[in-house]
A and B are shown apart, each in its own frame.
Chain A
Amino acid sequence: MKVIEKDEKVKIRLKINGKDYETEVEPRKLLVHVLRDLGFTSVHVGCDTSNCGACTVVMNGKSVKSCTVLAIQADGSEILTVEGLSKDGKLHPIQEAFWDKHALQCGYCTPGMIMQSYWLLSENPSPSEDEIREGLAGNLCRCTGYQNIIEAVKEASQKLKGH
C-alpha cells in the first residue's frame, strides 16, 4: 500500500486528448485544477458543489465532473476535453451544430455541455427530446434557456448517424 503524506506530492500520469502528461500533485488537488494548470482551460469551474457541469470531461469513456475527482484518482486515465474534439482543424459535428443552432452565448458552460453531449450521443445515438433533456440535466446554462442546445444535440445526432 502506498501512503502519501499531507504535504507530499505525488507523480501522476494522464493521457489527455491522446497525449501523455506527467505532473506532480498534492493528494488534495482536484482534477479540474490540474487539467487547467496543464493548459486545458476549456474545463471551467462554475460551482463548488458538483451541480453545474461546467467542468465536465470524458474520462475513460465516461462523462465526469472533474471538480469531483481528485487528480490522483485520475492517475493513469484517458481524458478527452473539448480541445481534443476537432480533428485536423475541422470542427466535430457537435461543435458545428452548437454553432449552427446558436446553442451558446457567453460560452462558459459550452465546453462541458459539448462534452456531455458527446458522451450522451456515444451512449445513445438517437436520443428522444426527453432523453436529451434528461441527459443534459447535470449541465447548467444561464444564458440560452436550453432550447437551442437541445436542437443542436438533435442536429448532431442526425449528422453523426449519417457518418
Chain B
Amino acid sequence: MQYIGKPIRRIEDPRLISGKGSYVDDIKLPGEMFVAFLRSTKPHAKIHVKKTDNIFTGDDINPGKDFPIASRETTYVGQPIAAVIAKDRYEAYDLLESIEVEYEDLPYVLDPAEAIKDEVKVYSGLKSNIYFQKTFSSGNPEKILSESLTLEGELINQRVIASPIEPRGILAYFDGQRLNVWASTQSAHFMRRNLVEFLGFTNIRVIQPDVGGAFGSKIITHPEQYAVAKLAMKLGVPLKWVPTRTEEMISAGHGRDKRFKFKVGFTRDGKITALVGTIIGDLGAPYADANDDESGNVLSTSRMILGPYKIRDALITSYAVHTNKVPTTSYRGAGRPEATYFIERIVNMIANELNMDPIDIRLKNVIRPEEMPYESAFGITYDSGNYVEILNKAREYYNELKSEAGKDECVGLAMYVEITAFGPWEVARVFAKSDGKIIAITGSGPHGQGDATGFAQIVAETLQIPIENVEVRWGDTDIIEDGIGTWGSRTITVGGSAMLKASEELKRRLIEAAAKMLQADVEEIDYSEGKFTNKKSGKSATISEVISFAYKNGISLDVTYVYPVSKPTTPYGVHMALVSVDKELGKIKVKKYIAIDDIGKVINPLTAEGQIHGGVMQGIAQALYEEAIIDPQGNLVNSNLDDYAFPTAVESPKYTWTYIERGLSNHPTGSKGVGEAGAVVSTPVIVNAVENCLGKRIYKIPIKPDEL
C-alpha cells in the first residue's frame, strides 16, 4: 500500500461537487438575526454616530477605542463605524440607510512615502506613522558599488486584493455559558485565541466550516468578527454577518503594496556585486491584528530580497508605514512575492543591459550545491537543493519556448527561493474507533488546498491500511487539543509531520496491544498491511481485532502529537512563460507557462500541481490586470469584480508543471511548501517577458495597455 507521492484524487470532492458543502452562510440557527456594518466614507475624520435602538457603535464593542470598531475617529474608508441587527439581510441593509453620522474631516495621508515624514498623522493615537524602520546590512556595499557598473530605479509592487470567491463571514451564538462561533477563517484555533483575548472569556468554541478560499485574507480576526462575537455575547441571539463583495473589497484582503528604491552593482560578465536600497511597505491604518500580520511580511520581503543569489554586500533600509487606507494583510506569498519580484526584475534588467542570457546570468550568481545549507547575508538559511541543476534543466524548456516565439512574442524567466512551513508547532490527533475506522484530525485549517487528502495518504501509508479507512477532520476547537492554522505554505509539511508522528505512535500502540493479544513480546510482532503476526507462534490478528481487543482491555488508541518547528524550509524553482505583446491593440496574452519546482518530497502531485496553477494565475493577474486603485479622497475606485480586473478562463494560459525532488526538508515528511510558490514567482516571469519584448524597462505594474 503506497500512497505518498501518488496523484490520489481528493477525498474532499464528493460533497463539494454535489453542492453539499457547508460554508458559513449555509449554516442557520433558529432565531438567527443578521448583522450589517456601516462603514466610514472618509479616510480620516472625527465621527459621531447617532445611536438608536438596534444601532450599535464602537462604544458598545470597544468603549473609548477606535479599533476594531471606530468610536471617535475613523482612519480609512471602509472601516466599520456602526452595526445594525435585523431579521434578515434585506432589512439590515434598509436599516443601515437610516443611521445618521456626522463627520468632521481630519487631514489624511495616502502615500506611504509622504506618511514617513510624519507631517500628517494617520491616527491621533499614534506617536509616529512609522510602525518600524529596520536596517539589514552586510559587507561593504557602498564601496563595492563605487567600483561596479550600476543600475538604479524604483520598482512598485502594487496593492492588490485577495478576493476569495467566498467573502468573510461569521455566525455567533452565546447560549448563556458558551460562545459558539462558526467563521470563514484560516484557523479555528487562532480565531479562538483572539476571541478569548478580546472578550476576556475562555468558554469559546470556534468552528471553521467549509471555507471558499482565503489566500491570506482570513488569517486575522477581522473587526466585524470581533464585533459580532461581542454583540452575540450581549444579546444572546444567534447573529450572522456576511459582507457584500463591495464591502469585502473596500475593507479586507488588501495585500502587497511595497516599493523598492534600489541601486545594484554588477560586473561586465554578469556577477551581481552589491545591492543597496529602501523598501517601503504600506500597512494602511493602525489595526493591530492586520499590522502584526503585514509588518512580518515587510520583514520577509527585506530578508528574502537577495533571492537565491550570493550577494554578500548589501544594505537594505526597510519601513513599515501607516497610511489612511485599508490595513494590509497577508496575501498569497505574504512578502516573499515582493522580494522575488524586486530581485528578479533587477536581474532581468542587468541581463538586458549586458545582453546576457537569463539562465547564464543566474548560473553566474546562484548558490552552488556544495554550499548548501547556505546562510544568506541577511541570516536566512536555505536548507537544501541544487539551484544549478534546476537552471540547467530549465534551459531545454526555455530554448523550446524561445524557438516557438513568433513575431511580437517573448519569453520571460524568473527564479525563486522561498521560505515555507513556519512554526511554531502544529498538532495532529489520530485515533481508532472501536469499529476499526481511523480518525485523523489536524490542528491546521485547510480551505481549498486539499491537505486532507495528503493527510489521509500519510496516515494510510504509515499504518499500511487502505486510504478509505481513514477519515480526516479539522476546524473545530473541540475535537483536538489545539492548532496553529493554514498559511505560510505550512500545512502538508508541518501539519503532515505531526500527522505522521501521531500515526507512528498509534502504530506503536497497536503493536503493543497486538503483543498482549497474541502473547508475545513487542519485538516478536510482525506488522504488515493491517495484519499482526506473532513471529514465534505464527498466530495473527487483523487490525480491527487488535483495536477491539484494546478497547476491551482498557488500552487507549487515541494519540495527540504536537510537532514543534524552529526554522522554515526553502523550496525553489525556475518558471518561464511565452507571452505575446500586441502594441497596436495594447494586448498582452500569456500563451504558455512552464514551471519547474523543487518542493522536496511531493506528497500528492495532483494537488501540488493544482496549487501551482492557482498561484501562478494570481501572480499573472498581479502583473497584467489587478490593482486596488485608490482615489485622492481615499476611496477604492474599483470595488467590484467588474472594475477590478479579475482573470477568467479566457486569460488563463496553458501551464506545464515539472518537479524534481532534490532538496528534501528535514521534516519527517521531507516536503516543503508549495501553496504560495506559484504566486511568488509568476509576476516577475510575466513582467520580464513583456520587458524583453518592449526593449524598455518596466517599473510599475500592472502593465497597462497604454504603456506598450
Interface residues of A (CB under 8 A from B): 26, 28-29, 33, 36, 40-49, 51-52, 54, 81-83, 85-86, 91, 95, 98-100, 102, 104-111, 114, 132-134, 136-150
Q: Show 13 A/B contacts (Cβ-Cβ < 8 Å), sorted by A.
A: A41-B21, A49-B641, A49-B642, A104-B16, A106-B211, A107-B21, A107-B210, A109-B165, A133-B650, A142-B614, A145-B652, A145-B655, A145-B678
Question: CB-nearest residue of chain A relative to B18?
Answer: A86
**B-side contacts of A138, CB under 8 Å:** 648
B90 interface residue (CB < 8 Å to A): yes
Do A108 and B165 touch across chains, with their CB atoms under 8 A apart? yes
> B12 touching A107 by the CB < 8 A rule?
yes
CA distance A157 to B213 in the complex (A): 28
Q: A46-B166, A137-B649 are in contact. Are A106 and B18 (CB under 8 A)?
A: no
- With A26-B90, A49-B245, A137-B649 as given contacts, are A82 and B165 in contact (CB-CB < 8 Å)? no
- Cβ contact within 8 Å between B640 and A41: no
Top 3 A-B residue pairs of the complex, sorted by shortest distance between their CB atoms: A42-B19, A108-B212, A107-B16
Are the CB atoms of B17 and A114 closer together than 8 Å? yes
B244 touching A48, Cβ below 8 Å = yes
With a CB–CB cut-off of 8 A, which chain B residues contact A46? 165-167, 212, 245, 641
C-alpha spacing A104/B166, complex, angstroms: 14
Q: Are A102 and B19 in contact (CB under 8 A)?
A: no
Q: In the bound complex, do residue A105 and residue B166 qualify as a contact, i.e. CB atoms below 8 Å apart?
A: no
Q: Which residue of A lies closest to B247 (CB)?
A: A48
Q: How far is the CA of A104 from the CA of B23 in the complex (A)?
A: 15
Contact residues in A for B213 (Cβ distance below 8 Å): 105-106, 108, 142-143
Q: Give the residues from 434 to 470 in chain B that come closer than 8 angstroms, CB to CB, to chain A.
A: 447-450
- Docked CA distance A95–B642 (Å): 28
- Neighbouring A residues of B15 by C-beta, 8 Å: 107
Q: Which of A83, A105, A136 meets B19, CB within 8 Å?
A: A83
Partner of B649, one of A26, A52, A142, A150: A150
Apart from A41-B23, A105-B450, A147-B655, what are 7 other A-B pairs with CB-CB below 8 Å? Answer: A41-B22, A46-B641, A48-B244, A91-B18, A140-B646, A142-B163, A148-B610
Pick from A91, A140, A145: contact of B613, CB under 8 Å: A145
- Asked whether any CB of chain A lies closer than 8 Å to the CB of B164, the reply is yes
Known contacts A104-B17, A106-B166, A136-B648: A52-B606 contact under CB 8 Å: no
Does B246 interact with chain A (Cβ within 8 Å)?
Answer: yes
Per a CB cutoff under 8 Å, which of A28, A33, A102 touches B10? A102
CA distance A139 to B165 in the complex (A): 10
Main secondary structure of the interface of A (DSSP, over half): loop
Query: In the assembly, what is the distance between CA of A44 and CA of B184, in Å?
Result: 14
Inter-chain CA distance A145–B210, complex, in Å, is 20
- Whether B648 lies near A143 (C-beta < 8 A) is no
Decide: A107 near B245, CB < 8 A? Known: A99-B13, A102-B9. no
B342 contacts across to A, CB distance below 8 A:
none
B557 interfacial by beta-carbon distance below 8 Å? no
Q: For the complex formed, measure the closest distance between the CB of B161 and the CB atoms of chain A, giving whole angstroms.
A: 11
Residues of B within 8 A of A134 (CB): 649-650
CA distance A59 to B192 in the complex (A): 42
User: Could you say which interface size class chain B belongs to?
Assistant: 35 or more
Question: In the complex, which of the residues A36, A43, A105 contacts B449, with contact meaning CB atoms closer than 8 Å?
Answer: A105
| Interface residue from B20, B450, B606, B642 paired with A42 (Cβ < 8 Å) | B20
Q: Which of B26, B165, B615 sits near A54, CB closer than 8 Å?
A: B165
- Cβ distance A18 to chain B, nearest Cβ, rounded Å: 15
What 1/0 mask marks residues of chain B from 608 to 640 whose CB sits below 8 Å from any chain A CB? 011001111110000000000000000000001
* Interface residue? B695 (CB, 8 A): no
Determine which of A95, A136, A143 lies in contact with B17 in the assembled complex, contact meaning CB atoms within 8 Å: A95
- Determine the distance from Cα of A111 to Cα of B210 in the docked complex, in whole angstroms: 14
A58 to chain B, nearest CB (A): 13
Q: For B615, give the chain A residue with the smallest CB separation.
A: A145
Q: Is the CB of A106 within 8 A of B649?
A: no
Asked if B215 contacts A142 (CB within 8 A), the reply is yes
CA of A162 to CA of B244 in the docked complex: distance in angstroms? Answer: 43
Are B19 and A99 neighbours in the complex by a CB distance under 8 Å? Answer: no
How many angstroms between the C-alpha atoms of A81 and B89 in the bound complex?
A: 23
Judge whether B583 is part of the interface by a CB distance below 8 angstroms: no
Residue of A28, A29, A47, A137 most packed against chain B (CB within 10 A)? A47
- Which residues of A have CB within 8 Å of B245? 46-49, 52
Q: What's the Cα separation between A43 and B26 when bound, in Å? A: 10
Contact with B610, one of A41, A105, A137 (Cβ below 8 angstroms): A105
A47 contacts B648, C-beta separation under 8 Å: no
Report how far A102 CA is from B643 CA in the complex, Å: 29
Residues of B within 8 A of A26 (CB): 90
Contacts of A140 in B (CB 8 A): 165, 641, 646, 648
- Separation of A134 and B651 alpha carbons in the complex (Å): 10
Determine the chain B residues whose CB is within 8 A of the CB of A52 once the complex forms: 165, 245, 641
Which of B13, B19, B26, B164 is packed against the most chain A CB atoms within 10 Å?
Answer: B19
Which chain A residues lie closer than 8 Å to B167 at the CB level? Answer: 46
Q: How far is the CB of A70 from chain B (nearest CB, A)?
A: 12
Q: Which of B1-52 contact A (CB under 8 A)?
A: 9-10, 12-23, 25-26
Interface residues of B in 313-337 (CB under 8 A from A): none
Question: A139 to B16, alpha carbons, bound, how many Å?
Answer: 17
A11 vs B364: C-alpha distance when bound (angstroms)? 74
Instruction: Give the one of B449, B606, B649, B655 with max A CB within 10 A.
Output: B649
Cβ–Cβ contact B165 & A40, under 8 A: no
Answer whether A106 and B448 are a contact pair too, CB < 8 Å, given A44-B166, A52-B641: yes
Closest to A129 in B: B654
| Chain B residue, CB-CB nearest to A112 | B165
* Binary interface encoding of chain B residues 219-246 relative to chain A, with 1 for a CB under 8 A from any of its CBs, else 0: 0000000000000000000000000111
Given contacts A41-B26, A104-B16, A110-B16, contact A99 B614 (CB under 8 A): no
Name the residue on A nearest B613 (C-beta): A145
Mark out the residues of chain B between 349 and 382 whose CB falls within 8 Å of any chain A CB in the assembled complex.
Answer: none
Residue B607 CB within 8 A of the other chain: yes
The answer to whether B17 and A144 touch across the interface, beta carbons within 8 angstroms, is no
CB atoms of B646 and A51 under 8 A apart? yes
Chain B contacts for A54, CB-based, 8 A? 165
Question: Which B residues lie within 8 Å of A81 (CB)?
Answer: 19
Q: Nearest chain B CB to A160's CB is how many angstroms away?
A: 16
With A99-B13, A133-B649, A137-B650 already in contact, the answer to whether A145 and B614 are too (CB < 8 A) is yes
Determine whether the beta carbon of A144 is less than 8 Å from that of B610.
yes
Q: How far is the CB of B614 from chain A (nearest CB, A)?
A: 5
Q: How near does chain A come to B561, taking the closest CB pair, in angstroms?
A: 27
Query: CB-nearest residue of chain A relative to B212?
Result: A108
CA distance A28 to B90 in the complex (A): 9
Closest-by-CB residue of B relative to A83 is B19
Inter-chain contacts of A110 with B (CB < 8 A): 16-17
Q: Which residues of B contact A109 (CB under 8 A)?
A: 165, 212
> What's the Cα separation between A63 and B47 when bound, in Å?
46
